[in-house]
Chain A
Amino acid sequence: MSIFVDRDTKLVVQGITGRDGSFHTKAMLDYGTKVVAGVTPGKGGQRFEARVPVFDTVAEAVAGTGANTSVIYVPPAFAAGAIFEAADAGVGLVVCITEGIPVGDMTRVMPFLAERGVRLIGPNCPGVITPSQAKVGIIPGNICALGRIGLVSRSGTLTYEVVHHLTRQGLGQSTCVGIGGDPIIGTNFIDCLRGFQEDPDTDAIVMIGEIGGTDEQNAAAFVREHVTKPVVGFIAGQTAPPGRRMGHAGAIISGSSGTAAEKIAAFEDAGIGVMKRPSEVVALLQAQGVA
């Protein structure tokens, strides 16, 4: 078991012939992900790497291959359009890697997805990986290992840093989800916590948050009420100045709201083990009884 992606994931890649799309599609194929189709308008009928059929539209790709999940690598100006298209074509899960989508575009995307019951992961995220089953996005497969820790994060390379510590010290992962660094994202911490809590193959959960917004505070309240599995967490940005966007569009302290201190306090109140440094992850999990 796992959450969101697994052996049954049949993936269509939007932007498969682009620079990023082709590079990461090769990596996903090498990992063993079932990439069943690609989409680039005007390149329908071609084959990617002589094996993956390319279609002009997502609807044709879904009709022709039964794809149930889409991953998006198209430039920001077209990315919101790509999410609409995927949702309209009937896939159940859309993973949007693209960084730089205007927030106004996302406010129009979200109700469209809700009406169709489509889950979005991202945008501006590294994607999701269920080790030895499916890699959807850009998380490097070689740092992950199959195991029983569920991980959810707003970051990319900081996630890799923490996963690296887990894997090196013998704690594999059930699924790692990068939910993205934008102010408006599809899947949030709570969605992932609920998934991991219900997943029989996840024993404990690692949450990596950062400054900006209230998603971590809401997640902490959810943990207190609904999560019985051990949870440890990290918040990046303790030294970030207020009012400045720290790389991620969503990583900004507004006034006195969204600070690291506020989020850490919420974690502590909910009994979440708070890492002071990324390297403490394994020790903290062990302190919560994870072998």
Chain B
Amino acid sequence: MNIHEYQARALLKAEGIPVPDGDVAETPAEVKAIAARLGGTVVVKAQVHAGGRGKAGGVRLAKTPEEAEHVATSILALTIKGLPVRKVLVVPAAEIAGEAYAGLIMDRETQRPVFMVSPAGGVDIEEVAATTPEKIFRLAVDPRYGLLPHQAMGLAFRLYHDLKQVRAAASILERLYRAFVRHGASLAEINPLATTGDGTIVALDAKMVLDDNEVERRPDLAQLRDPSAEDPSEVLARESGLSFIKLEGNVGCVVNGAGLAMATMDLVKYYGGEPANFLDIGGSSNPEKVVNALRIITRDAKVKAILFNIFGGITRTDDVANGIVTALDQIDVGVPIVIRLTGTNEAEAIQILEGVGMTALNDMDEAVQQVVHRVGEAA
């Protein structure tokens, strides 16, 4: 789960990491008040779950509270990568003498949290990683012991020469590790880790991604979720216990199992169609899930046909067939439906569907070809 910069800042601040003053606002009037309180030039930053905010005009300087109000009006009217801006963060414009990078990721390869630090921080860190990887220093942390003091110092010496700054950075890295573990993060990043005019080291920007599985069991983390920052269909899906991701195509897909769902999307593409979504109804045979799946898919006006691809292992195909019949009683889908089901209780499933004048196919390739063909007819 992505959280906003202002939320990540608050988590780091609570851990004792120096973070500049500032506050979040939802209206230009609030922005004006915050800017007046901070005094001097401020930066107004869009809070959306998308990269490239600066390039999209979502990060702007303002010299006076009035200008901040004006700038906020235009930023709050922006849509960045399809996401409307609903909140902005207002911080003092800092005088920056240097920019370093400090990040911590959950690394699959070493199966440990891995620090990445670089003295060359700032907006071009990805380019640094690509072109001069020797400027990025990595350290895998043994989770049984955490970040040891000498390890934190070792990393900090890669960033600074002045001993006072090295000690300050080491303390920030230890606290970053603690925040990462405490909140079940899969990523925690300070970029830039800035040196101000007087030599103080501060976290000027913060980014954190939390492990969905951790959020699932931690109400304190779940409340950081901002549903207004997500696609409404995806919010609805999550609340219905479905795994759903909206795509740009026109073939709606309802599948059991994540791997099969991906393979189904790929096969739609293989036969010349474009998938409208990823959707995994999971192993449950609950008809309500089928109803919700169809509701979510048909919200998208681009969808011209819907494909069910069900491999009955644990899932009973007759339960899914019952779910389809129930769903079609409740919702007017308005587009053709192609059903493929095979496996557990498929004879019963076919009988149930035939009872309401529907048919089912047995083969995945055949079903996908047919649904792509139906979309072609509708166009």
Contact = CB atoms under 8 A, between A and B. Distances in A.
A107 B112 contact: yes
B263 A236 contact: yes
A199 B144 CA distance: 36
Contacts of A236: 259-260, 262-263, 266
Interface in A33-69: none
Interface stretch (B34-42, B213-221, B328-336): B213-221
B356 interface: no
A239 B265 contact: yes
Interface string A242-268: 001111111100010000100000000
B342 A107 contact: no
Given A107-B111, A241-B247, A156 B216 contact: no
A247 B262 CA distance: 9
B261 interface: yes
A104 B215 CA distance: 12
Contact of B260 (A100, A103, A155): A155
Which of A153, A236, A247, A248 is packed against the most chain B CB atoms within 10 Å?
A247
Contacts of A106: 111
A157 B260 contact: yes
Contacts of B144: 108, 111
Contacts of B106: 103-104, 107, 183-184
Interface stretch (A1-9, A189-197, A272-280): A272-280
A271 B61 CA distance: 55
B224 interface: no
Interface string B242-265: 010101000000011111111101
Nearest to B186: A103
B28 interface: no
Given A101-B213, A107-B106, A155 B257 contact: yes
B311 interface: yes
A158 B343 CA distance: 13
Given A157-B259, A157-B260, A279 B245 contact: no
Contacts of B257: 155-158, 247
Contacts of A249: 211-213
- Chain A interface bracket (under 10, 10 to 19, 20 to 34, 35 or more): 35 or more
A215 B107 CA distance: 12
B247 A239 contact: yes
A137 to B, nearest CB: 11
Interface residues of A, dominant DSSP: loop
Interface string B127-164: 00000000000000011100000000000000000000
A222 interface: no
Nearest to A208: B259
B300 to A, nearest CB: 15
B77 to A, nearest CB: 25
B261 A247 contact: yes
B313 A143 contact: yes
A247 B278 contact: yes
Nearest to A247: B258
Contacts of B212: 245, 249
A100 B213 contact: yes
Nearest to B344: A140
A140 B343 CA distance: 9
B121 interface: no
A156 to B, nearest CB: 5
Contact of A77 (B126, B217, B267): B217
Interface in B340-371: 342-344, 363-365
B269 A140 contact: no
A204 B367 CA distance: 29
B245 A241 contact: yes
A164 B142 contact: no
A138 interface: yes
A140 B266 contact: no
Given A160-B343, A246-B261, A279-B364, A237 B214 contact: no
Nearest to B1: A245
B259 A248 contact: yes
Contacts of A276: 270
Contacts of A153: 259
Interface in B266-307: 266-270, 275, 278, 280, 283
Contact of B365 (A139, A251, A277): A277
A277 B214 contact: no
B123 interface: no
A239 B258 contact: no
B115 to A, nearest CB: 14
Interface of A: 76-77, 100-104, 106-108, 110-111, 138-140, 143, 153-161, 164, 181, 183-184, 208, 210-211, 213-215, 234, 236-241, 244-251, 255, 260, 276-279
- 8 nearest A-B residue pairs (beta carbon): A155-B259, A247-B258, A157-B257, A158-B259, A236-B262, A157-B260, A140-B313, A102-B214
15 contacts: A76-B213, A140-B314, A154-B259, A155-B260, A157-B256, A158-B259, A158-B260, A158-B262, A236-B263, A238-B266, A247-B261, A248-B259, A251-B262, A276-B270, A278-B267
